[in-house]
Structure 1
Amino acid sequence: MRMRPAAAGNLQIAGASTLRFGLVLNLVIIGRLKFEDYEVENIRPLITSSPPFSRLAAMLGEQRLARLIGATEIIIGSLIAAKSFAPRASALGSLAAAGMFTTTLSFLVTTPEAWQERHGEPKLSLAGQFLVKDIVLLGASLFTAAESLRDARRP
């Protein structure tokens, strides 16, 4: 399939915009959910199985920790969304998101419920399937960080 360079460029711009919007939307919506009691219940196995997060939950309480995580996600998403008028802040938000998704991917190792080992070789459970999508979000965060840093260098 042959595509004109201008069409390929437009497709790349549309893809980058969609990637950024999707990343922001995921962070803000999922961050907002952390203020709901049922979401505190949903993340409990992840938090209690993670050594650093289990200590934070013991210090702050699960509900406060969930709200802190949610507020952080909303702030990070808002920073990423600010690319057009604050590309450096957007890059910072994207790098923070990359760190956050790296952290959530560590839950694949620390959360026993992430795997179904009774089926022969280990297979992802529903919790593991939920977590593995963070690989894509990590890639989106790195992409948007590079894009924002490039824009921040422009005069």
Structure 2
Amino acid sequence: MNNQTITNTHRDTSLGYKLGVFGVVITLLWIGVFKFTPTEAAAIEPLVVNHPLIGWVYNFISVQMVSNIIGLTEIIIAIGLIVGFFNSKVGYVSGILALLTFITTLSFLATTPNTWKMVDGVLTTNFFLLKDIVFISISLLVIEHNKKYI
């Protein structure tokens, strides 16, 4: 890919796309940093411990260390999404990693006991997990956008 193609790629990228990716980046950075606190480590433990693919890690490392690893992963993905504005290969890989992260997070709705409850006759859940539906779509856009330039 030559420099002119890269220049056109970034100039032709829509404001909506950039804003969507920026929203995901800010959220990942913010939540990723918060994962280094004892409060967030304790808050995510019930989600992670009940997940069949990742709950086993608590057998080997502490609740805080698991949270730190998840936080670091989120921060790295956020940085990768930013770099993806300038490097399509990094953007493509970061989009895939973000997609896997958000699918895993959304799957907590199915793996965590007592996630779904009836409140005043309305089925409710931990609504903060539902943001990942939008984040999955942004991740797919990042993958599609960058794939055509690598």
TM-score (ref. length: structure 1): 0.82
Aligned to 1:112, what secondary structure does the other structure show?
coil
Cross-structure match for 2:141: 143
For residues 15-59 of structure 1, what are the alpha-carbon distances to aligned partners after superposition, in whole Å with 9 as ceiling and x for unaligned? 111011111111111111110111011112101221232211221
For residues 82-112 of structure 1, what are the alpha-carbon distances to aligned partners after superposition, in whole Å with 9 as ceiling and x for unaligned? 1232111111001111011111111111112
Q: How many percent identity over aligned positions?
A: 32
Cross-structure match for 1:91: 92
Cross-structure match for 2:8: none
| Distance in 2 (alpha carbons) for counterparts of 1:15 and 1:74 | 22
Extract unaligned runs of 5+ from structure 1: 1-9
| Distance in 2 (alpha carbons) for counterparts of 1:124 and 1:57 | 28
Aligned to 2:73, what secondary structure does the other structure show?
helix
Extract unaligned runs of 5+ from structure 2: 1-10
Aligned to 1:134, what secondary structure does the other structure show?
helix
TM-score (ref. length: structure 2): 0.84
CA RMSD of aligned residues (A): 1.9
- Aligned residue pairs: how many? 139
| Higher RCO by CA contacts (8 Å cutoff, separation 6 or greater) | 2
Distance 1:15 1:111, change over 3 A: same
Aligned to 1:107, what secondary structure does the other structure show?
helix
